[in-house]
């Protein structure tokens, strides 16, 4: 960091914060604040400001001293970090005083960057109570300031990630047609965060959202930022082969530190696009894998999902439109040409009427509608299977099966099974190289990569 290089210095500054997340070490804090006042590189100052926020992760009141010191700084970059320090210190607590502070700085600070950061961190504070977030940011989502609108969109995206709340859609939908390009980008990304792994059976408007992404990404008249937002959003919706969701807490409600820090760094792609990759840290698998005492996956273990299969099924893959017919361009017609054409059409009236099929004949040419088969009310899932977080409440175990879970309340993730008839023969196990023909992409077989050869590390090679 002391090499006075902007790019390397920013990376080093962020690295310091990542190494010391939540330590609140006074010596490190003073060193960072001192160098932030000495360097002239904005990138390094911003990296240090974010690292200071990471140092007070989860410290709540213990981080107030640093927060107050950063908030009173004349440097807007340090105040920007102060907003994230509030979000990190009180992450997931829904602390009223912390929320009041963020809302206060969102409307009172002179820097647009600070305003935007203050709004975004409301999502970190309240993600355990996602239904209150749309109400908190509703008024500021209509602000004249585009940075506040962007911040409101990201607050909803972060705080309501994976919930599919209709209230979130009401906030984000108008912002996808905002006059400012980066606001549209933020709204598109936030929509994907909210509706990741939400199926059309759960929310019919998911189909409209996907069409919106495709339309904006393919529109040659759309600006670059909006196209980028659409492409990122499509990647988020399909993250992990549609087998992962975004969550900053475990199933038991414990904070996932890596996910929280990853989301905070993902939001910094505004300044440095490689930080987009940190979103991967927020992903959590949505699967149910039953393991026996030898950590093998028995095929005979089954679970029942007491819901219609269409409610939680895999979404359709995107299809490329081929041989798209060119639309005819309507040419301008002069008034004199229209008069001549009207006279000609009048003479050929009878002939033209005969060319059109009568209504009765047209009805006869219509194809009969296919009979809709009645959908079953439940579905049997094999081991392993994808189980969405919303689907866990309808998962049931049959105690008559050979294998039953040791913890019946656990409905997803790795589940340890107890064999009720260990002497019974004939059990088969799932092979890692086996391809499930019922999978959404059975043609994509796993690829075995070659393991690099052993080598001896020479420390002198770096000099």
What would the DSSP string read from start to end of 84-122? Answer: HHHHHHTTTS--HHHHHHHHHHHHH-S-HHHHHHHHHHH
Q: How far is CA 407 from CA 207, 215, 394, 414, 416, in A?
A: 37, 46, 16, 11, 8
Percent pLDDT > 90 in the chain is 49
pLDDT for residue 41? 92
User: Are 352 and 239 spatial neighbours (Cβ–Cβ below 8 Å)?
Assistant: no
Query: Going by C-beta distance under 8 Å and a sequence separation of 6 or more, which residues neighbour residue 232?
Result: 188, 189, 192, 276
pLDDT (average), residues 135-148: 92
Query: Which token pair is 303?
Result: 């679970």
Query: Which token pair is 49?
Result: 């400001």
Q: Is the pLDDT of residue 78 over 90?
A: yes
Rg (CA), the chain: 28
pLDDT for residue 361? 44
Q: Is the pLDDT of residue 382 over 90?
A: no
User: Are 124 and 83 spatial neighbours (Cβ–Cβ below 8 Å)?
Assistant: no
pLDDT for residue 355? 37
For the ranges 41-55, 148-162, 182-196, 367-381, the lowest mean pLDDT is seen at: 367-381
DSSP structural state of residue 454: P
Instruction: Please name every residue paired with 418 in a beta bridge, in sequence order, or none if there are none.
Output: 404
pLDDT for residue 362? 42
Which pLDDT tens digit goes with each residue over 101-114? Answer: 999 999 999 999 99
pLDDT for residue 345? 55
pLDDT for residue 112? 94
pLDDT for residue 369? 59
Quick one: fold of 6-286? 1.25.10
Cα atoms found within 13 Å of the Cα of residue 414, Cβ hemisphere only? 7
Q: Is the pLDDT of residue 137 over 60?
A: yes
pLDDT (average), residues 45-62: 94
Coil, helix or strand for 23? coil
- Tell me which residue of 133, 129, 152 sits closest to 141, measured CA to CA: 152
Which pLDDT tens digit goes with each residue over 126-136? Answer: 999 999 999 99
User: CATH 1.25.10.10 region(s) of the chain?
Assistant: 6-286
Query: Average pLDDT of the chain?
Result: 84
- Tell me which residue of 73, 110, 105, 75 sits closest to 87, measured CA to CA: 105
Helices 42-55 and 64-71, packing angle to 10 deg: 160
Model confidence at 359, pLDDT cuts 50, 70, 90, reads very low
Q: In b/e form, how buried is each residue of 200-209, taking b as 16+ CB within 10 angstroms?
A: beebeebeeb
DSSP structural state of residue 315: P
Q: Is the pLDDT of residue 323 over 60?
A: no
Q: Is 248 exposed, middle or buried (0-12, 13-18, 19+ CB in 10 A)?
A: buried
pLDDT for residue 144? 93
pLDDT (average), residues 233-258: 89
Task: Give the number of other CB atoms < 10 A from CB of residue 380.
Answer: 12
Query: Which token pair is 78?
Result: 């340090």
- The dihedral region occupied by 413, where left means phi > 0, alpha psi between -120 and 50, and beta the remainder, is left
């Amino acid at each position: 960091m002391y090499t006075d290089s902007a790019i390397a210095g920013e990376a080093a500054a962020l690295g310091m914060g990542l190494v010391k997340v939540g330590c609140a070490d006074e010596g490190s804090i003073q060193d960072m604040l001192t160098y932030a006042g000495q360097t002239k590189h904005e990138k390094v100052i911003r990296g240090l400001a974010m690292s200071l926020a990471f140092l007070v992760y989860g410290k709540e009141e213990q981080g107030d001293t640093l927060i107050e010191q950063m908030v009173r700084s004349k440097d807007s970059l340090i105040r920007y970090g102060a907003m994230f320090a509030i979000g990190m210190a009180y992450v997931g607590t829904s602390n009223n005083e912390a929320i009041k502070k963020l809302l206060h700085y969102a409307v009172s600070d002179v820097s647009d960057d600070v305003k935007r950061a203050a709004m975004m961190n409301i999502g970190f504070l309240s993600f355990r109570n996602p239904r209150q977030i749309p109400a908190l940011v509703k008024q500021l989502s209509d602000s004249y300031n585009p940075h506040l609108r962007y911040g409101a969109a990201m607050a909803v995206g972060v705080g309501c990630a994976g919930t599919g709340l209709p209230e979130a859609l009401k906030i984000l939908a108008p912002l996808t047609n905002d006059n400012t390009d980066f606001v549209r980008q933020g709204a598109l990304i936030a929509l994907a965060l909210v509706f990741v792994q939400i199926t059309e059976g759960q929310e019919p408007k998911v189909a409209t959202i996907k069409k919106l992404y495709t339309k904006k990404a393919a529109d040659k008249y759309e600006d670059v930022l909006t196209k980028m937002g659409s492409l990122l959003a499509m990647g988020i919706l399909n993250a992990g082969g549609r087998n992962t969701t975004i969550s900053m807490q475990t199933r038991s409600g414990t904070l996932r530190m890596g996910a929280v820090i990853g989301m905070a760094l993902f939001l910094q792609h505004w300044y440095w696009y490689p930080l987009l990759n940190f979103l991967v840290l927020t992903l959590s698998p949505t699967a149910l894998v039953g393991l026996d005492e030898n950590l093998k996956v028995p095929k005979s273990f089954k679970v029942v999902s007491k819901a219609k299969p269409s409610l939680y099924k895999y979404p359709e893959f995107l299809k490329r439109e081929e041989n798209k017919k060119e639309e005819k361009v309507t040419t301008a017609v002069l008034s004199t040409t229209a008069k001549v054409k009207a006279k000609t059409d009048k003479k050929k009236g009878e002939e033209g009427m005969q060319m059109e099929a009568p209504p009765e004949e047209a009805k006869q040419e219509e194809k009969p509608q296919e009979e809709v088969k009645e959908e079953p009310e439940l579905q049997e899932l094999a081991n392993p299977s994808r189980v969405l977080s919303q689907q866990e409440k309808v998962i049931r175990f049959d105690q008559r099966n050979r294998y039953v879970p040791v913890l019946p309340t656990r409905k997803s993730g790795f589940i340890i099974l107890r064999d009720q008839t260990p002497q019974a023969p004939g059990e088969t196990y799932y092979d890692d190289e086996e391809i499930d023909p019922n999978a959404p992409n059975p043609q994509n077989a796993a690829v075995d990569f070659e393991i690099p050869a052993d080598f001896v590390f020479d420390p002198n090679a770096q000099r």
